[in-house]
Structure 1
Amino acid sequence: MSRMLSTCENVSRAADLLEDKLHLCPGDRPPIVKTDLSLPDGQKKLAFFLENVMTKQECDAYIKKTEKMGYKRALLTIGKDTQVLRKDIRNSYRCVWDSEEQANILWQRIEPYIPTDFNSRWKPLGLNKRLRFLRYDPGEYFKPHYDGFFEAENGDRSFITAQLYLNEGFEGGSTTFLSTSGNDSQARPLVPRTGSVLIFQHNIFHEGSILVKGRKYAMRTDVMFTPVKLPDDA
C-alpha cells in the first residue's frame, strides 16, 4: 500500500534527483525577518540580514547535493576571465553550480526586500545563476577583500552580494565587516544562521573569518541589474 511522503522525507530525497535538478520543499517556514546592519566607520551602504529564507531541510538538501557534485579548492578571481589559486588569501573549498531554477527559487523569496531605487540607472533583474557553494573546515578562511562583480555579455551586471548560510553550530567562521582604516574595534562580525541570507553591496570591505571548529557551508551569488534607459539617454 502506498503512502504520502512527509515534507522531511520529500526534502531528504531531493538531493538524489538528476544532477541538474533539485526540487525543494519549503515545508512550514516562519515569516522572513529583516535586520538592517550597522557597518564600520559609519558607512551608509546597503547591508541587511534576512532570517527564515530557507528551511533546515532545504539547506540540508543543498549540502547533500553539492557534496555529491564535489568540492574543489576555491580560486581567487583577479580579472574578468582569470582565476588563480592563492591559499594565503583563500584556502577553503567550493562547488560551482549553474542553475537558473535554484536561483529563481531564492530570488522569489528575497526579491521583496531588494530596493528598486538602489541605483537610478539600474534596476534589479534577478539572481546570478552561478551559485558558488562554499565549504570551510577548521583553519580555513577568506582574508579581507571586496567582492567582485559579475558582468553578463548583454551588459547586465551585479552590484550586490547574496549569501545564503546552510548551517550553524560551528565556532568562528563569521562574515566580518571591517574598517578600511584597520581599526579592529570597528569590526562587525555576523554569526551565520541556517537558512538566513546576508545581502550587502560588493564594495564593502569584509572577510570570511577563520573557522575554529566544525564545518561551515554557505552559498554566494549576486543580485543582477539591467540598465534603465533615461530620457536624457535618447
Structure 2
Amino acid sequence: MTKKPSVLGHQPPVASSVDISDSIIATDFPGTFIKVIDNVFTPAECAALIARAEASAAWRTALIQTPRGERVDEEVRNNDRILLFDKELAGELTRRLLPHVQEVAEIGPGSTWEHIVGLPGFVTKTWKLLGVNERLSFLRYGPGHYFRPHYDGQLQLPDGRRSWVTVQIYLNDDDLSGGATRIFGKAGEDGEFYDVEPKVGRVLIFEQKPFIHSGEEVVRGMKYTMRSDFLFESVRWPGLVKLFTKS
C-alpha cells in the first residue's frame, strides 16, 4: 500500500493555552480536564486536513446516535460530515497533540485524573493513553447549521480500548460568524456558559463525562472542524509503561 503524504509539517508551531480560569467551567467543574489551546496547527495544515477528508468521500448529512442506531434528526443536529478512517493521519495527529496531554498519559488508582476513568476510590485498573482514534469525523457547518446541546458518547471497542477524552480541531475562521462550541455550566441550557470560538488551528480537549455542549448556529460563512477521541487501554503492569517509554 502506498503511504499517503504527510499532512502536518515537521516543525510544529508555537502553541499557547487559553486561560479559562475565570470561566463558568472553572467555577462549576473544578478539577476537570479541559483545555483550549491555540496555534496547535498552522492554517496550511488545517487546509490540508480538509483536503484529505474531501479527497476521501463526499459530504453527507451527519447522523445522531440513538438506542436503535444512527439516524438523521435535523432538529438535533444539522450539519454535514465526512467520516474518515485513517490510521496514518491519526498517528500524525497523535504526535502533534501528545505534548499537550501528558497529564493524562497514564491514569490509575489514586491519580489526579482518576475520576476520568471511573468513580474515585473504586478504580482498579491503570489506563494508558494510546493516541487519537483513527475514526476522524470531519464536520462542515453552513449558515443556519447547528448541533443542539448534548454529551459526547464514550466508545468501548471490542479489543478493550476506551475513549475517555474528546479532541476537537478548528480548521478555519475566515469570514465566519457564529458557530462557537458552547459549554454549559451545571445549571444547563438556562444558566451560564462558556463559548469556545472557532479559530483556525485551535484545539479543544475535554473529558467526556460532565460537559453538556453545543455547536451554536453558524450565522455567516462555513465552519470546518475535525472531532475524534483519545483512546486508552488498560495495562496490567503500569510501571513497565514508564520504563519502556523512557528506553
TM-score for both structures, normalised by structure 1? 0.82
2:14 corresponds in structure 1 to 31
Cα distance between partner residues in 2 of 1:83 and 1:98: 18
Per mean C-alpha deviation after superposition, the further-off stretch among 185-194 and 126-135 is: 185-194
Structure 1 stretches of 5 or more lacking a match? 1-17
2:50 corresponds in structure 1 to 63
2:154–2:163 contact (8 Å) kept in structure 1: yes
Cα distance between partner residues in 1 of 2:43 and 2:65: 31
What RMSD over aligned residues (CA atoms) do the two structures have, in Å? 2.2
How far 1:25 moved relative to its partner?
4.5
Cα distance between partner residues in 2 of 1:22 and 1:142: 33
| 1:78–1:230 Cα change, 3 Å | farther
1:10 corresponds in structure 2 to none
1:173 corresponds in structure 2 to 179
Written as runs of structure 1 = structure 2, the 5 A alignment for 1:8-47 is: 21-26=4-9, 29-35=12-18, 37=20, 38=23, 39=25, 42-44=28-30, 45-47=32-34
2:142–2:220 contact (8 Å) kept in structure 1: yes
Cα distance between partner residues in 1 of 2:159 and 2:152: 21
Q: Does 1:151 align with 2:147?
A: no
Q: Does 1:229 align with 2:215?
A: no
1:6 corresponds in structure 2 to none
Per mean C-alpha deviation after superposition, the further-off stretch among 107-116 and 96-105 is: 107-116
1:3 corresponds in structure 2 to none
TM-score for both structures, normalised by structure 2? 0.78
| 1:25–1:113 Cα change, 3 Å | closer
How far 1:197 moved relative to its partner?
1.1
Cα distance between partner residues in 2 of 1:96 and 1:113: 25
Aligned residues: 212
Cα distance between partner residues in 2 of 1:51 and 1:176: 17
| 1:90–1:198 Cα change, 3 Å | same
Written as runs of structure 1 = structure 2, the 5 A alignment for 1:122-201 is: 122-169=127-174, 170-182=176-188, 184-201=190-207
Per mean C-alpha deviation after superposition, the further-off stretch among 105-114 and 31-40 is: 31-40
Cα distance between partner residues in 2 of 1:175 and 1:183: 13
Q: Aligned residues: percent identity?
A: 34
State the secondary structure of the residue aligned to 2:75. Answer: coil
State the secondary structure of the residue aligned to 2:77. Answer: coil
State the secondary structure of the residue aligned to 1:60. Answer: helix
Cα distance between partner residues in 2 of 1:67 and 1:134: 11
1:87 corresponds in structure 2 to 74
How far 1:179 moved relative to its partner?
2.5
2:13–2:41 contact (8 Å) kept in structure 1: no
